[in-house]
Amino acid sequence: MFIQERYNSLVSLEIDFYSKEHEPSVRMQIASITSRKVLKSDILMEPILPNFDFLKLEQMHSKKYRLTSGFIPYSEARLLSYKIFDWIKTNGKTSWDCDFSFSLMFNDFGMMGTPNISRLNILKMILNYPESKIYDLFPERKNYPRSKSIKNIYPSSKFYIDTPSSLSSNSFTFPLRKYYGIDFTSLDAGNLRFRYLGGTDYHEKIEKCFAAIDISIDCLRHCIATPNLTEEEKEILDQILESNQRIINSYS
């Protein structure tokens, strides 16, 4: 994957953290270090269109906050993360229940020959995504309830027959709900959301965070550009189905 293709991606960030500061003070300080207006949580931001100038701060409960960006260029997302993570080091903390989620779309969206996220083959993405590499970066998230494995595929029918014509998204049941490592329901809004990252002191691991973002961008673009399953991916599918054989047999 060429680095330029990553820089042609748009990233929306969701940054959870704790701070003893009151909400107005947190908003003011973040606005100061980012040179962006920080909106209150009750002001809506259009989730699809790029939004370079605004952030949104939500007070989740007590001293826990969530900062959300619009879709901003990859380079801006990286710079913003550095600034916010550095601020957290001095003014807050991150705990086991803090998520660092990100959503992806492309700023070459709609141009001829460039990836169109609406064409994503979900089965291809599940089989191709190197989830083990992400869990290696953040091992504590492997069993976390909001970042469950997407390698969870079952035939949609007990009459499933393994033929090339059956290898389509309609042949299988996927984890198409929130709280999996990838939230495929976000495709309805024209982007794809990833929920794997976070945990205690994740703000000290920015290079690992962006290693995961890079992996996700590369995989997403690859899966859109080459939607058909490879022989290797079909073998991975067989392995997943075999590991779920006990549940599959219960259909009988």
Which tokens in the block code for residue 180? 């999996």
Amino acid 107: pLDDT: 67
Report the percent of the chain where pLDDT is more than 70.
78
Amino acid 113: pLDDT: 47
Amino acid 238: pLDDT: 84
How far apart are the C-alpha atoms of 169 and 165, rounded to whole Å? 11
Q: Are 123 and 223 in contact (CB under 8 A)?
A: no
pLDDT band (50, 70, 90) for residue 171: low
Amino acid 6: pLDDT: 83
Amino acid 156: pLDDT: 65
Report how far apart, in Å, the C-alpha atoms of 247 and of each of 176, 207, 233, 250 are: 18, 39, 22, 5
Q: What is the mean pLDDT of residues 162-171?
A: 54
Amino acid 165: pLDDT: 40
pLDDT in tens, 105-129: 986 644 444 457 878 999 999 999 9
Amino acid 137: pLDDT: 97
pLDDT band (50, 70, 90) for residue 163: very low
pLDDT in tens, 207-217: 999 999 999 99
- Statement: residue 252 has pLDDT above 80: no
Amino acid 61: pLDDT: 84
How far apart are the C-alpha atoms of 208 and 21, rounded to whole Å? 27
Q: What is the mean pLDDT of residues 53-81?
A: 92
Which tokens in the block code for residue 251? 């259909």
